[in-house]
Structure 1
């Protein structure tokens, strides 16, 4: 592989503790108790959006809006304390030192790039797609196709790396490989991916 395209949340950075705590606290603010483990499992297996949809099913529209808004406030604060997973810096460094390139593809805003800079990781990345670029969400391949065109990436020599099925599917939809980072073995083994790892160091 020559080009490695990374998801941010749950792949480069362990943001789930803050996301789950923010989710639980947002509901608690309005007197609703949700199971922390169930929230984490749903987020990991699907998405934050799907998790909200499932947990807000029997709640009034007005209250749904308030809970979502509270979550955004809490999660924005929590994300500032997120840390990279073990070996992220070493793996990204090895890729660049061997002539390869790293790219970021995230549904998060440019705060993700600020975190990379804070942790001395930005220098290892050649390009970025964030929520401000307004591409359709993964597994739609448009954002990956943009990166391929913008940076002359050969899909046959590139891989999309993420912690959810939608990341792998996005890679496949763009004609490239898809690696699944599944640190706690929560993803169904029937998922078709080109490599499944529990540690970032196993990517290479």
Structure 2
């Protein structure tokens, strides 16, 4: 049996992408840009940097986006259904869990 599990955080353990996309789209639309939500999702799945470059957003926009998403995601993001039980079941059989993420310490508030 496998004993060590390495998990990605966003989109694997926690359902954060809908919130991240909503905030980004809302901000762009508030600036008058017409945005295809699916396109934002596709670019975000590659990387935040790719998304920022595709929409040519400023550093000020990125800073504001990060602040807004940090507040909203704590309220609206959570683990996928069944994740807690899965992790507990695996742990009970001796497994260890590790998380890989690009988000840094912002993961702590969600966990």
Give the TM-score normalised by the residue count of structure 2: 0.87
- Unaligned runs of 5+ residues in structure 1 are 57-62, 117-204
2:32 aligned partner: 31
Aligned residue in 2 for 1:6: 7
Match of 1:78 among 72, 79, 82: 72
1:12 CA displacement: 0.7
Which residue matches 1:40?
41
Identify the structure with the greater strand proportion.
1
- Give TM-score scaled by structure 1 length: 0.50
Query: Which protein has the larger Cα radius of gyration, Structure 1 or Structure 2?
Result: 1
Distance 1:30 1:66 in 2: 13
Aligned residues: 109
Report the RMSD for the aligned CA atoms in angstroms. Answer: 1.5
Higher relative contact order, structure no. (Cα contacts within 8 Å, ≥ 6 residues apart): 2
1:90-145 C-alpha deviation (Å, 9 max, x unpaired): 111111101110112211132322322xxxxxxxxxxxxxxxxxxxxxxxxxxxxx
Contact 1:18 1:75 in 2 (8 A): yes
Task: Point out where structure 2 has 5 or more consecutive residues left out of the alignment.
Answer: none
Mapped pair 1:110 → 2:105: yes
The residue that corresponds to 1:66 in the other structure is 60
Residues 26 and 68, structure 1, Cα contact 8 Å, conserved in 2: no
Asked whether the 8 Å contact 2:9–2:99 carries over to 1, the reply is: yes
Contact 2:70–2:106 (CA under 8 A) maintained in structure 1: no
Deviation at 1:51, TM superposition (A): 1.3
1:5/1:104 contact within 8 Å kept: yes
Q: Could you say which structure has the higher helix fraction?
A: 2
Partner SS state of residue 10, structure 1: coil
Alpha-carbon distance in structure 2 between the residues aligned to 1:40 and 1:17: 8
2:87 paired with 1:87 = no
